[in-house]
Amino acid sequence: MTEALNSRHDHSQATLTEKEDSVRELTSALLTGKADEAKQRAYTALAKGSNEREIVDAVVEAANIVCDLQELEQYDQAKIVSVENAANACLHTLEDSLAKAEEKLGVKVTVGPVGLKTGALLALALSASLRSLGFHSTNLGKTQTALDLLRNSEELDSDLVIPLLPSNAPEHLAAFTETYERGGFKNKFQIIAVAPGLPENVPSSLTVARNLQEAISKATQWALKNSRGYHKTASSPGTPTS
C-alpha cells in the first residue's frame, strides 16, 4: 500500500512539473514572438492540466517582461508587434471560455493605452485577464489620446475605464486627470489609471495602480461592490480602497 501511495505521489509530482514546464515554454514562445508555437504551447499547457487563468497569466507575464525590456531598448517596435501577434494567437485558444466567463460580473470595462509604445500588448493582456475574471472587457488597444479613450468608453457605456500610462511620468497622469474632470466624464464611470513607477507622494484624485496586477486587484475589488450582477448601491461610480 505504501508503495502504491509513493507511486501515486511520484506521478502527481511529475504531472505538476510537466504542467509548470509547459507554461514556461508558452511564456518563452510568447517572448520570441512565435505565433504558431505560442498557440500550440497554449494547447499543450491546457492538456497538461493548466487552466485558462494560468494561460492568461503567462500572457500578462510576457507583456510585463517586454515592457521592461523595451524601456531598456532591448525590444524594438517590430519585436513588440510580433509578441502581440503571438499573444493574440495564444488567447484565441481560450476565446470560447473567455466569452463565457465575461458574463459573470455584469461590469463593462474599457482598457486602452495613452501615449505608450507597448500599450497595445499591455492592453491585450490586461483585457484578457479581466475577461477571465468575469468582466465584459473591451480592448481599445491602439495608442490614443485621453479624450479619445474617454469618448469611446462613453459610447460603449462603460462602468470602468483603465488607461495605461507611460512609466515614471506623473505629468501624463495629471493631463489625463484634467481631461477626465474637465471633459464632463467625472460621474460617468470609475477610473483606475495604471501609472508604473509613480512615486507614492504624487497626489491624484484618481485611483492609481502601479502595475497590471494591482490594476486587476483594484478593478475586482470595485466590481464586487458595484457590479450589475450584484447590488449597485450608488448612482455614481464607487471608489476602490487605495
Are residues 156 and 74 both part of a single domain? no
Q: What is the CATH number of the domain that holds 44?
A: 1.10.1240
Q: What is the pLDDT of residue 2?
A: 41
Q: Which of 45, 60, 93 is the last residue of a domain?
A: 93
Q: What is the pLDDT of residue 169?
A: 85
pLDDT digits (tens, 9 = 90+) for 73-89: 777 889 999 999 999 99
Considering the domain boundaries, does residue 183 fall inside one? yes
211 class by beta-carbon count within 10 Å (0-12 exposed, 13-18 middle, 19+ buried) = middle
Give the residue numbers spanning the domain of 109: 102-242
Here the cell at position 206 is 484618481
Q: Which of 93, 113, 146 is the last residue of a domain?
A: 93
Considering the domain boundaries, does residue 4 fall inside one? no
Considering the domain boundaries, does residue 22 fall inside one? yes
Per-residue pLDDT for the chain (242 aa), expressed as one digit of tens each? Answer: 444 334 334 434 447 788 899 999 999 999 999 999 999 999 999 999 999 999 999 999 999 999 888 777 777 889 999 999 999 999 999 999 999 999 899 999 999 999 887 789 999 999 999 999 999 999 998 768 999 999 999 999 999 999 999 988 899 999 999 999 999 998 899 999 999 888 888 899 999 999 999 999 999 999 998 865 543 433 345 555 44
- Average pLDDT of the chain to the nearest whole number: 87
pLDDT digits (tens, 9 = 90+) for 121-152: 999 999 999 999 999 999 998 768 999 999 99
Report the half-sphere exposure of 34 (CA within 13 A, side-chain side): 12
Are residues 65 and 119 both part of a single domain? no
Q: What is the pLDDT of residue 89?
A: 97
Are residues 242 and 213 both part of a single domain? yes
